[in-house]
A and B are shown apart, each in its own frame.
Chain A
Amino acid sequence: MTTAAVAPQRGSRLLAGTGAGFLLVPPVLLLLAALVVPVVAVLAKAVGSYGFDGLVTEPLRNAAFRDAVVVTFVLAVVTTVAALVVGTVYALAMSVAGPVLAKVLFGILLLTFWISLLVRTYGWLLALQPNGALDYGVREAGVASGGLGLFQTLPGLVVPMVHILLPYMVLPIYAAVQGLDQSQLRAARSLGASSTLVLRSVVLPGIRAGAMAGTVIVFILSLGFYVTPAFLGDPGDRVVAIVVGEVFGRQRDLPLASAMGVLLLAVVLAVYFVADRVLRISEQWERF
């Protein structure tokens, strides 16, 4: 799939109006019922209970929520930066490896992308838990006799998060690498540029748009992540989603859960729309 998928085509104007209104009715109805109504419902619930100011003040009065905001921000930033570095390496490796190896690397990436999030998290649980697979591995290798102790710590959460979010980073970067200008690469080479110079002033600037798209989506997704922190997060350092999930699921405090949810959603949407405006992110995503 290419960018052509979204670039409005020449001549499509001649089709304008021919049924567009009718064709768009079912998708608009779906999003109204499944997205707009629920968002309005939480908004109404929160405003009805706390007023408009309460949307911000009420969640922030909750100490657990305040702590979680800091943890979530740190986790999202660390995860995003790690995914950016690792994702760039993986995308470049796929692009320069031999054709067969490149296919294998791509296949493994897609496989992990489509294997259930829950199953992958569960796999990390088995790997990281005390006396789990990794502890066994390091003991056998004689690295650390007591095990790694990563289970339910911040690093032990970042690693699985990067694992789960990596495809969202790699796919747009890989698409950008495929869009690099061959003649520019060859010109740089024949004019005597070193590998480092080519990498720094041709390749990396060329894939920046893809990397930005990946960075934004990974950051957004890690802000609202629920499943992986539920299994692998530090119980003493909970993220926002876990705190909200507890208020909603265990305490059944719907007004407070709604207010917290609205705040989380507002932050996520703000990042999304600013990024879309500034970086035209939605067009980048559609490249894959």
Chain B
Amino acid sequence: MDLRQALRDAIGGYRAALVALGVLLAVFLLVPLVVILPQAFSSGLFFKFPPPGFSTTWFDQVVNDDLWRDAFTRSLWTATVGATLATACGTLGAIGLRRLGLGGRALRTAFLAPLVMPQLVLAIGIFVARDDLGLGSSLWTLVLGQTALAFPVVLVIASAGLSAVDPALSRASASLGHAWPGTVRRIELPLIRRSVLSAFVLAFALCFDEAVLAYFLSPPGQATLPTQLWLASTEQASPAIAAVATYVMGFVLVLLLLAGWLGRQAASNLRSAR
């Protein structure tokens, strides 16, 4: 008998109510997504609920609009660089922390700090630091900030992957004569390869979607997709924005499914390695 069954039996009287509330809440969770779709397929020129008719014009229009296309390409670039850096640092951090054991507790807390850092304060900090150092505004400073935000996510996923790897393997590798870089490269990294890949995908999605740093730090005329979406939505009420939002949702959904698939592969890889 599993926990689900035990829990069901134990709180029998509340089960139906809980499940019904859960379904209602799931509907609530879908509200903003469901509201966007009809506007994206609207045939009207402005937002109107319900939309006057069905059309896919807006999807074609935004795909052929240089403003949106450039913003999309720019976001692909920033997210690729950011996710690569975050994955490298996060994976090395997880492997390094494992070697510190209990002694690494303070460092682990510090590594997770970007999770709670208010993004607006980080944006101001990067802006002021850039100013002090006499650097001009560039996408690189934005990427650096987004890397820091994605880093703890990678760290957590890579740590979880490592926890399933028997430390005896690393010790065996060391006693058989590998120096630590060899152990990392030949033993630990291959064993957590899939976790690292799924961490990369999630970090990519995080950087691709990041809006606050992008809004304040994008150089003029070099808006990322979220910045462009933000600017456009304060200026106009065109269904084009809903169409872009729909593209973004679809794109992220694909990334999420990819990460989930990689995560499952990671789990089954480790099972078969045992």
- Are A123 and B36 in contact, CB atoms less than 8 angstroms apart? yes
Which one of B98, B121, B122 contacts A15 once the chains associate, using CB atoms below 8 Å? B98
With known contacts A226-B120, A227-B212, A248-B216, A104–B26 Cβ distance under 8 A: yes
A108 to chain B, nearest CB (A): 5
With known contacts A16-B101, A122-B233, A286-B156, A265–B118 Cβ distance under 8 A: yes
- Tell me if A's interface is mostly helix, strand, loop or mixed: helix
- Are A110 and B256 in contact, CB atoms less than 8 angstroms apart? yes
Q: How many residues of B contact A (CB 8 A)?
A: 118
List, in ascending order, chain A residues with CB within 8 A of B119's CB: 224, 226
A203 nearest in chain B by CB position: B11
Distance between Cα atoms of A193 and B13 in the complex (Å) = 12
Is B3 interfacial (CB-CB < 8 Å)? Answer: yes
B70 to chain A, nearest CB (A): 18
Residue interface bits A242-258, CB-to-B below 8 A is 1, else 0? 00110011000010011
List, in ascending order, chain B residues with CB within 8 A of A123's CB: 31-36, 245
Is B7 interfacial (CB-CB < 8 Å)? Answer: yes
10 closest Cβ contacts across the A-B interface? Answer: A123-B32, A93-B22, A38-B125, A224-B118, A19-B180, A23-B96, A34-B148, A195-B13, A27-B93, A1-B160
B interface residues, Cβ below 8 angstroms from A: 1-4, 6-15, 18-19, 21-23, 25-26, 28-36, 39, 47-50, 85, 88-90, 92-93, 95-104, 107-129, 131-132, 144-145, 147-148, 151, 155-157, 159-160, 162-164, 167-168, 170-171, 174, 179-181, 183-184, 202, 205, 209, 211-212, 216, 226, 229-230, 233, 241-242, 245, 248-249, 252-253, 255-256
25 A-B interface contacts by CB (under 8 A): A1-B156, A8-B104, A11-B171, A15-B167, A20-B100, A34-B145, A34-B147, A37-B129, A93-B18, A93-B22, A96-B4, A101-B19, A111-B33, A124-B31, A125-B233, A131-B49, A177-B7, A182-B3, A189-B9, A189-B10, A195-B14, A223-B118, A241-B120, A249-B216, A262-B121
